[in-house]
Amino acid sequence: MKLSRPLAISVIVALVAFGGEARAIEATPSLDADSARDLVACTAKDAVDAFAGQKFTPAEAQEKLQGLLAKDLDMEFLSRQILGRFWRTASPERQREFSALLTRFIIVAYGGLIDEVPAALEIQVADVEPQGDRFIVHSLAGTSRQDMTPVDWTVARTADGRPAIADISVEGVGLIRAKQEEFGSILRAAGGQLDGLVTIMRGKINHLTGQGQVVAAR
């Protein structure tokens, strides 16, 4: 399904923030409502500063996204979130391979959605809602009061206790949860082995790069 431009923008902002570390609050790394809000505000600002008001070719957009992911992304944390129990049963070699491939997959599959982000794009962080040992940070993303998309950020702890973004829900659709379901279905069909999923991901990356274009992954 083709994404609308406002939703596509929100998705890209979410992807840039996936696994983002609480680099702005390193002095107080414990997870609470304030640190969750600060983490979301920092990662959202990075995305807006990098893309809003600029026009990119697909190659330039991919390069820009790659730079932000390298800066902000805790790839092991993100991979754990997406694979769940399948991560724990994979060998260290396969874990590293999947994490590296996931970065490339994100860049190739979503980079084309950020060819031209409006200069007026805003991400307004609102209230924070406790949810068990996590926090949900509510926000709105868009270019005007009449064109705002709800974006909810789930903030959790990493293994070493740092706050990190565990999922983003755009208009009620959890992006990490959606990938968990998609990849989980492939893994179950492959007997829980990462080889089958890795092969499919490589094929999609090759297909998209071979077309000379970048489209949203499904």
Prediction pTM value: 0.74
Report the alpha-carbon distance of residue 51 to residue 58 in Å, rounded.
13
- Can you give the pLDDT at residue 214? 43
- Domain range summary for the chain, segments of one domain joined by +: 5-210
Report the alpha-carbon distance of residue 96 to residue 202 in Å, rounded.
15
If the chain, 218 residues long, is cut into consecutive pieces of 10 residues, what is the mean pLDDT of each piece?
A: 49 54 47 89 81 80 76 74 89 90 83 72 90 92 80 85 82 82 90 89 87 45
- State whether the Cα torsion 56-205-43-167 is positive or negative: positive
- Can you give the pLDDT at residue 3? 44
- Can you give the pLDDT at residue 216? 40
- Can you give the pLDDT at residue 19? 45
- Can you give the pLDDT at residue 217? 39
Report the alpha-carbon distance of residue 127 to residue 33 in Å, rounded.
9
The residue count for the chain: 218
Rg (the chain; Cα; Å): 17
Report the alpha-carbon distance of residue 120 to residue 16 in Å, rounded.
19
- Can you give the pLDDT at residue 203? 92
Report the alpha-carbon distance of residue 33 to residue 116 in Å, rounded.
33
- Can you give the pLDDT at residue 77? 81
> 15-31: buried (b, 16+ CB within 10 Å) or exposed (e) per residue?
bbbbbbbbeebeeeeeb
Domain 5-210: give its CATH superfamily: Tgt2/MlaC (3.10.450.710)
Q: Do residues 151 and 140 touch, judged by C-beta distance below 8 A?
A: yes
- Can you give the pLDDT at residue 10? 56
